[in-house]
Structure 1
Amino acid sequence: MAPYGSDDSTTADETDDLRAGRRRAARYVVPVAVVGVAAATIGLVPALADSGDPDLPKISAQQLIEKIAASDVEQLSGTVKITTDLGLPDFGGLENSLTGGGGGSGSGSGDGSSADPTSKLTALATGTHTLRVAADGEDKQKLSLLENAAEYSLIHNGKDVWGYDSGSNEVFHATADDSDGKSKREEVPATPKDLTEDALKAVDDTTSVTVEGTAHVAGRDAYRLVIKPKDSGSTVGQVTVAVDAKTGLPLKFTLTPASGGAAVVDAGFTQISYAKPAASTFDFTPPKGAKVTEEDAAEAPERHSGGSGHFGGSADDEGFAKGGPDGLNVIGEGWTSIATFDTGGQGIPSGSEAGGAFGGFLDSLGDKASGKFGEGTVFKTRLINALITDDGKVYVGAVTKDALVKAANEAK
């Protein structure tokens, strides 16, 4: 489809404006997922688009980014479907064997709670899921994950954050951080808005941004914003965002890999309303007999803000660097940036050395690699790849195997 608007890509002169626009975009709708776990990629299945594309006034990429940044939607409710296809092999019960957990409705491993979002929301990293979301300003959000015969809800109401797993009748309670009204746990990008915010952080002079056509999403007229890496070597093909033509809210997010095929991350509302949700939506009282686990603030990991960890960053991207292990460095910039750190000489054992289910899992993910750096293993998904050398150095990014090997060779 031909570009829809006057620009077919960003120019160097527009870069500063785009960066300013995406900084403003970081404030454009309160997050629905207020507590969560750092996740490499979590996405949403595409909303069912209506037939026929709407006839909307022409708009440039810069104007559309500014529209997203200026969006003032704070009240909404709707249904989202979630699918993620990273191309991982079947875990075949490996997860339970490693964690000791008993599945999604069990009490989890160790002293943890099945209602703790740190473990519960990792389910969104694979497969297809349905979410109900609601928001009413900065202090009230709710996300509910619908399962076969159970429901998991994450509720932020004022200073209280509650997680409730109906399958196990367990409750997790945390107090929102005074500095930003959210828990110290990191957010999960669980709506098109969250995912778009991350994608906009990657917009720089290594990125092409265009407006390509229109669409109907969840009954709303929308523009299609397309974000593409300019340089080769990235595993990201393009990001497409359907933006509500009236409100500026991202309604659908799709990330397709450079290798082609089905989307890795596909995001969209199937139903949305901008009406104020009922106050009772955000009320929660632990049910009778429920096991309640309180978050230990002293042990909760600090949140970090900013950074382009999901889609790339530069060596001076402070948020990205602070979010990783000690000694983390970032090689390159933009979509082909590679994070690297040293584990201290401890490499990854081969499948035969690891043995059992874990050994088979390692073999199914890894490809042997060698070069000036020595030898190592490349662990692959359809988006994020990592080279772990036999002497314990790690290179990871949304880049190809060849790019990782080149980075390791040049580091010698």
Structure 2
Amino acid sequence: MAPYESDDSTTAADADELRAARRKKAARYVVPVTVVGVAAATIGLVPAIADSGSPDLPRISAEQLIQKIAESDTEQLSGTVKITTDLGLPNLGGLESGLMSGATQGGGDGEGSAADPTAKLTELASGTHTLRVAVDGPEKQKLSLLEDAAEYSVIHNGKDVWGYDSGSNEVYHSTSAEGADAQQDVPATPKDFAEEALKSVDDTTSVTVDGTAQVAGRDAYKLVVKPKQSGSTVGQISIAVDSRTFTPLKFTLTPASGGAAVVDAGFTKVSFDRPAASTFDFTPPKGAKVTEEPAGEKPSGEAAPGHRAPKSEDDLAKSAEAEGFKVLGEGWNAIAVLETGGEGVPSGGEVGGDLGGFLDSLGDQVSGKFGEGTVFKTRLINALITDDGKVYVGAVTKDALVKAADAGK
């Protein structure tokens, strides 16, 4: 029987109700998760903030600067980072809190934790936030998200990864048999972040050194990375690199459409001294609710979308295959294709309420050889969901998504 086709025991009204329910579920989970997930991947590149001055530094080529970043042995630092993210998303109102609540509760099972990093750190996908960071090698890192009347921290110390939300007095704890596994679940060093960003440097990329700047009181070189291909929503990426340690201090991603940066993040204060050992100590406060990661499951942070980018296009293809989707194109124009096996997402008019407003503000109806669908757009990531349930998503234009869907028909 075809999907939603009625039989003797199912009325046309029942079928319509079932169709609407499935559409709402797709809209609630597929669209926001796709947009926020890829945004999170973009944020996880490297810190940055406003620069000043143009210090006089020895000349260096882009190739030399990239090599210096790769060879940098910085393993200790601490400081304050300010990050602003502007994806151009509308104000979701109650929908946003509902989605975050659902994520915190593990999809609605009521057994989640407000201190779970998977849900908490998605807050960095929008607005302006202040973070405190500390790093002492691959075994010890700490990141604290400073809020108006509370603080949220993720601490990695050896095998232990702790998440603590002071507002709710909740603690999330996970362990790993090997410290290397745990390291993947918390923010890595700035060197790691830079390596993630520079994996895009290939034949489809232009890389130059564009002068100098001062960031957090330190002299830095400005490395500019741009797509050579047309069709990408990325205008350029600018990374300010400390001239003495060659540690990235500043990251700014500007969209091809112009205007304010999509991501502007970086150090306002930084020190390369070893942080005090006590920085990474953590004991659950008295009376705190402690949630332990279930045995046999990977720590929650590892599930965060795009937290670790594949190291090459071959790795990307293998990772995509393992996750049940494929990748079309290469370089900056790569598009992920997912088969949801369901019906496409409706217009906001069919849904109504906060969710309807969200869909109307993001979606453009499109058609082509593939049929019909809806493109959900931000200033960086666009996603086409076809009426037969396929999802095409990437940092590419609407036209590029339609072209890919037509080619895949």
TM-score between the two structures when normalised by the length of structure 2:
0.83
Asked whether the equivalents of residues 41 and 125 of structure 1 are also in contact (C-alpha less than 8 Å), the reply is no
- 1:69 equivalent to 2:66? Answer no
The size of the alignment, in residue pairs, is: 367
Asked whether the equivalents of residues 231 and 333 of structure 2 are also in contact (C-alpha less than 8 Å), the reply is yes
- Equivalent AA in structure 2 for residue 268 of structure 1: G
Aligned to 1:124: 124
Q: Secondary structure of 1:41's partner? A: helix
Asked whether the equivalents of residues 99 and 109 of structure 1 are also in contact (C-alpha less than 8 Å), the reply is no
Within 1, Cα distance between the matches of 2:299 and 2:285? Answer: 28
Within 2, Cα distance between the matches of 1:381 and 1:103? Answer: 24
- Equivalent AA in structure 2 for residue 242 of structure 1: A
Within 2, Cα distance between the matches of 1:273 and 1:64? Answer: 21
Structure-2 change in CA distance of 1:289 and 1:48 (3 Å): same
- 1:400 equivalent to 2:397? Answer yes
Please report how far the alpha carbon of residue 199 of structure 1 lies from its aligned counterpart in structure 2 after TM superposition: 1.8
Aligned to 1:292: 290
Within 1, Cα distance between the matches of 2:91 and 2:109? Answer: 21
Please report how far the alpha carbon of residue 411 of structure 1 lies from its aligned counterpart in structure 2 after TM superposition: 1.3
Please report how far the alpha carbon of residue 173 of structure 1 lies from its aligned counterpart in structure 2 after TM superposition: 0.4
Asked whether the equivalents of residues 227 and 234 of structure 2 are also in contact (C-alpha less than 8 Å), the reply is yes
Q: Secondary structure of 2:246's partner? A: coil
Asked whether the equivalents of residues 335 and 398 of structure 1 are also in contact (C-alpha less than 8 Å), the reply is yes
Within 1, Cα distance between the matches of 2:318 and 2:97? Answer: 32
For residues 36-70 of structure 1, give each alpha carbon's deviation from its aligned partner in whole angstroms, at most 9, with x where no partner exists. x88243277842423x3111111001100000001
**Structure with greater helix percent:** 2
Structure-2 change in CA distance of 1:375 and 1:330 (3 Å): same
Within 2, Cα distance between the matches of 1:57 and 1:101? Answer: 52
Aligned to 1:353: 350
Within 2, Cα distance between the matches of 1:309 and 1:382? Answer: 22
Within 1, Cα distance between the matches of 2:192 and 2:65? Answer: 17
Structure-2 change in CA distance of 1:45 and 1:260 (3 Å): farther
- Equivalent AA in structure 2 for residue 49 of structure 1: D
Please report how far the alpha carbon of residue 225 of structure 1 lies from its aligned counterpart in structure 2 after TM superposition: 0.5
Q: Secondary structure of 2:338's partner? A: strand
- 1:381 equivalent to 2:382? Answer no
Within 2, Cα distance between the matches of 1:286 and 1:243? Answer: 37
Please report how far the alpha carbon of residue 324 of structure 1 lies from its aligned counterpart in structure 2 after TM superposition: 7.1
Aligned to 2:144: 144
Give unmatched runs, 5+ long, in structure 1. Answer: 1-36
- Equivalent AA in structure 2 for residue 274 of structure 1: F
Please report how far the alpha carbon of residue 100 of structure 1 lies from its aligned counterpart in structure 2 after TM superposition: 4.3
For residues 217-263 of structure 1, give each alpha carbon's deviation from its aligned partner in whole angstroms, at most 9, with x where no partner exists. 11111101110000110000000000011101000001100000000
Structure-2 change in CA distance of 1:277 and 1:313 (3 Å): closer
Within 1, Cα distance between the matches of 2:322 and 2:93? Answer: 29
Asked whether the equivalents of residues 321 and 330 of structure 1 are also in contact (C-alpha less than 8 Å), the reply is no
Structure-2 change in CA distance of 1:402 and 1:267 (3 Å): same
For residues 57-105 of structure 1, give each alpha carbon's deviation from its aligned partner in whole angstroms, at most 9, with x where no partner exists. 110011000000010011111000011000000011212234546999x
Within 2, Cα distance between the matches of 1:183 and 1:348? Answer: 37
Q: Secondary structure of 2:43's partner? A: coil
Aligned to 1:156: 156
Structure-2 change in CA distance of 1:333 and 1:352 (3 Å): same
Within 1, Cα distance between the matches of 2:197 and 2:325? Answer: 22
Deviates more, 1:292-301 or 1:355-364: 292-301
- 1:230 equivalent to 2:228? Answer yes
Q: Secondary structure of 2:240's partner? A: strand
Within 1, Cα distance between the matches of 2:404 and 2:169? Answer: 49
Within 1, Cα distance between the matches of 2:221 and 2:235? Answer: 19
Within 2, Cα distance between the matches of 1:269 and 1:409? Answer: 44
**Aligned counterparts, 1:192-207, within 5 A:** 193-207=191-205
Please report how far the alpha carbon of residue 365 of structure 1 lies from its aligned counterpart in structure 2 after TM superposition: 0.9
Identity of counterpart residues, as a percentage?
A: 69
Within 2, Cα distance between the matches of 1:48 and 1:265? Answer: 12
- Equivalent AA in structure 2 for residue 95 of structure 1: E
Q: Secondary structure of 1:76's partner? A: strand
Aligned to 1:86: 87
Give unmatched runs, 5+ long, in structure 2. Answer: 1-36
For residues 97-155 of structure 1, give each alpha carbon's deviation from its aligned partner in whole angstroms, at most 9, with x where no partner exists. 34546999xxx972111111011111111000000000111111110110001111111
Asked whether the equivalents of residues 175 and 183 of structure 1 are also in contact (C-alpha less than 8 Å), the reply is no
Within 1, Cα distance between the matches of 2:201 and 2:161? Answer: 33
Q: Secondary structure of 1:317's partner? A: helix
Aligned to 1:252: 250
- Equivalent AA in structure 2 for residue 173 of structure 1: H
Q: Secondary structure of 1:88's partner? A: coil
Aligned to 1:55: 56
Asked whether the equivalents of residues 135 and 142 of structure 2 are also in contact (C-alpha less than 8 Å), the reply is yes
Asked whether the equivalents of residues 70 and 195 of structure 2 are also in contact (C-alpha less than 8 Å), the reply is no
Structure-2 change in CA distance of 1:80 and 1:338 (3 Å): same
Within 1, Cα distance between the matches of 2:103 and 2:334? Answer: 38
For residues 2-29 of structure 1, give each alpha carbon's deviation from its aligned partner in whole angstroms, at most 9, with x where no partner exists. xxxxxxxxxxxxxxxxxxxxxxxxxxxx
Asked whether the equivalents of residues 78 and 270 of structure 1 are also in contact (C-alpha less than 8 Å), the reply is yes
Asked whether the equivalents of residues 321 and 328 of structure 1 are also in contact (C-alpha less than 8 Å), the reply is no
Aligned to 1:210: 208
- Equivalent AA in structure 2 for residue 280 of structure 1: S
Asked whether the equivalents of residues 160 and 176 of structure 2 are also in contact (C-alpha less than 8 Å), the reply is yes
Asked whether the equivalents of residues 96 and 103 of structure 1 are also in contact (C-alpha less than 8 Å), the reply is no
Please report how far the alpha carbon of residue 301 of structure 1 lies from its aligned counterpart in structure 2 after TM superposition: 7.0
Structure-2 change in CA distance of 1:377 and 1:408 (3 Å): same
Aligned to 2:13: none
